[in-house]
Amino acid sequence: MIAMQELLSLTPFLTSLIAFLLVSPIIIYLLKPKTHGLPPGPPALPVIGNLHLLKPPMHRTLHDLTTRYGPLIHLRLGSSLCLATGSVDMAREVLKNHDTSFSERPSTVAARKFAYETAGFAFAPYGEYWRFVKRLCMSELLGPRTLEQLHPIRQSEVAVLLRGLLENSRTGKAVNLSEELMKLTNNIITRMVASSTAGDEADVSRRVVKQVADLMGTFNAEDYIGFLRGLNIQGLNKKMREVHRNFDNLLEGFITAKEKSRNKVLEQGSGEAKETPVRDLLDILLDVAGDPTAEVKITRENIKGFILDIFTAGSDSSAATIEWTLSELINHPNIMQKLREEIDRVIGRDRVVGEADVPNLPYLNAVVKEILRLHPAAPIVYRISTKETIIAGYTIPTNTTVAVNLYSTGRDPKYWVDPDEFRPERFFEESNANLGIKGLHYQLIPFGSGRRVCPGIGFALQVVPAALAALVQCFEWKIDEGTANENGKLDMQEGHGGLVSYRAKPLVVVPIPRLDPFPLN
C-alpha cells in the first residue's frame, strides 16, 4: 500500500518527465538550424550553434575543422551563419569568382564603435563613399608619391631603434624586441599621420591602438546571440567606451594641433619663398575635407575613422611580421647566415641597408614572402554576402559571413611542398618564382584580394623588409636563456585573441653588434 501511494505521488512527475522526453526531440529539431544546400559542417547545438568549438587562435581552429569536414564548411554561430574556407581553391572562389557577392565586411559591436559606425574605410559599406576613399588611399594617402615623401620619417625611426639596441648591447642584457618593434611601427605611423606630434602622444597612441586591436579581436557573444545584445554580460561595452574615448581624445589632439599649425601658416602669408613642408596624412585628409569640389564630402568623423584604420591595420601587423621573421631566422641560423651574406655582398658593412636597397636583395624578399605565407599578420579575411550565391554547388544565403583562412591557404598541400617548413628557397623554384603578394596568386594572399584588398600593401613592403634587413645586418641575436625552450630554440607558439597573430611569448633576445665601426652617425 505504501509503495502504491509513493508511486501515485510520483505520477505527476513521471508524467511530466515522459512528456518532456517525448517532446524534447521535436523542440530540438525545430530549434536546430536548417542546413539544406549548405556545405558540410560540425553538428550544432541549440541556441549557441558551433560557438563552443571556436577556441583561440581562431585560424588554427578553423584549419582543423576544414581539415576534418572539407575545404568549405558551414558553422552556426548563434543565430548567424558562417562559412570557412580551408583551401586555395575555395579562397579563390570567394575573393575572385564571387568578389561582388562578398563585397562587404561583417560589422561587429566593436567595429561599429571604433570605426565611428561606418565613417572609416575598413568597414564602410561598398558604395560611392567607399570607392572615393579607396581611390584617395591608393593615389594619395598611401600612394607611391606620399610614401616616398615620408621616407625620411621611416628611415629616422629605424635609426632610433638601431641606436637604442646598440646602447642596450653594451650592458649585455636582453631586450624585449616585441615592444621595441611595436614602438618602431607605431612611431612611424604617428609621424606619418601628424608629423609634428610629441613623444608622449606616440606612447599614448601605442597603448591605445593595442587596446583597440585586442577589443576588436575579442569574442563578443552579443555579435552572435540576438537576445544577449545590449546586456553586456562580458563587461566589454564599458571597456570599449573607455578605450574609444581615449582614442577619440588622441585623434582630436592630432587634428586640432594640425588645424592650428595650418592656420598659422595662412596667417603669416607667403612672405619670402620657403621650402614647402612635406604633407602628412592629416594634411591630405584636411585638404580633401575643405575642398568644395571634392566628389564626396568627408567629415571630421570620416577623418578619425580613417586614421584609426591606418593605426590598427599598419602598426600591429608590421611589427608582428618583423617579429615572426626574426624569430624564424634565429631558429634557422643557416638561413640567417645566407641572408647576412647577401646583405654584406650587396650593401657592404659601412652603411645601413635601406628601403632603396630592397629590390636588389632577392633572398631578403624570399624570406619576407615565406614569413607572410607561414605567419600572415591578419590570418583571417572576413567578408559577408550581399546576395544569395552559389559556391562549389552550395547555396549560400544573403548575410552569410565567410572566413577566408589565410593560414590554410599558405599550407595547402596542393600548392606547397612541405608546407609547415620555413624554407625561403622555395620562391626560387620554377613553380613559385613568379608568385606575387598583392592578391593575384591565391596561394599567397597575406593582404587579402579583390576589391577589399588591404590598401596598405605599399606601406608594409616599405617598412618590413628594410627594418628586418637592418636588424639582421647590424646585430647578431642571442636567445635569452629564460625564453629558450628545451631544445635551446625560441618557442614559436601563437598568442590568443586580437586581430593580429602575435607570438605567445615576447621576443626577448640579446643584441650583439656585428659591424665595427657601427654605421650610424
Rounded to 5°, the CA angle 440-441-442 comes to 110
Walk across the sheet containing 401-405 and list its strands.
Answer: 72-77, 80-85, 401-405, 380-384
Residue 476 has pLDDT above 70, yes or no: yes
Whether 189 and 208 have beta carbons less than 8 Å apart is answered as no
Which residue intervals of 170-280 are DSSP H helices? 177-193, 199-216, 236-268
Residue 413 has pLDDT above 60, yes or no: yes
Whether 118 and 128 have beta carbons less than 8 Å apart is answered as no
Walk across the sheet containing 175-176 and list its strands.
Answer: 175-176, 508-513, 475-479
Average model confidence (pLDDT) across the chain: 87
CA dist 240 and 114 (Å) reads: 8
| Exposure letters 174-184 (e unless 16+ CB within 10 A, then b) | bbebbebbbbb
In this prediction, residue 274 has a pLDDT band, given cuts at 50, 70 and 90, of: low
Q: What percent of the chain has pLDDT over 70?
A: 90
Q: How many residues does the chain have?
A: 521
Q: Kindly report which listed range (254-258, 347-351, 371-375) carries the lowest average pLDDT score.
A: 254-258
Count other C-beta atoms under 10 Å from residue 443's C-beta.
20
Q: What's the confidence (pLDDT) of residue 1? A: 40
| Exposure letters 267-302 (e unless 16+ CB within 10 A, then b) | eeeeeeeeeeeeebbbbbbbebeeeeeeeeebeebb
- Model confidence over 139-161: pLDDT tens digits? 888 889 999 999 999 999 999 99
pTM (predicted TM-score): 0.88
Q: What's the confidence (pLDDT) of residue 188? A: 92
Q: What's the confidence (pLDDT) of residue 262? A: 85
CA dist 364 and 336 (Å) reads: 10
The answer to whether the Cα torsion of 473, 474, 478, 482 is positive or negative is negative
In this prediction, residue 2 has a pLDDT band, given cuts at 50, 70 and 90, of: very low
- Model confidence over 316-345: pLDDT tens digits? 899 999 999 999 999 999 999 999 999 999
> 24-513, what's its fold?
Cytochrome p450 (1.10.630)
Q: Kindly report which listed range (100-114, 214-228, 271-285, 472-486) carries the lowest average pLDDT score.
A: 271-285
- Model confidence over 208-255: pLDDT tens digits? 888 888 888 888 888 887 777 777 778 888 899 999 999 899 899 889
Average pLDDT over residues 67-87: 95
Q: Kindly report which listed range (117-121, 334-338, 510-514) carries the lowest average pLDDT score.
A: 117-121
Q: What's the confidence (pLDDT) of residue 332? A: 97
Q: What's the confidence (pLDDT) of residue 199? A: 60
454 is in an annotated binding site: yes
Q: What's the confidence (pLDDT) of residue 115? A: 84
User: Which single residue is written with the C-alpha cell 564630402?
Assistant: 297
* Ranges 264-273, 302-311, 346-355, most confident: 346-355
Q: What's the confidence (pLDDT) of residue 456? A: 85
Strands 72-77, 80-85: pairing is antiparallel
* Ranges 9-13, 65-69, 314-318, most confident: 65-69
* The three three-digit cell numbers of residue 55, written as one number: 577556441
CA dist 380 and 475 (Å) reads: 33
The ranges assigned to domains in the chain are 24-513
CA dist 83 and 62 (Å) reads: 10
Pick from 372, 309, 389: nearest CA to 99: 389
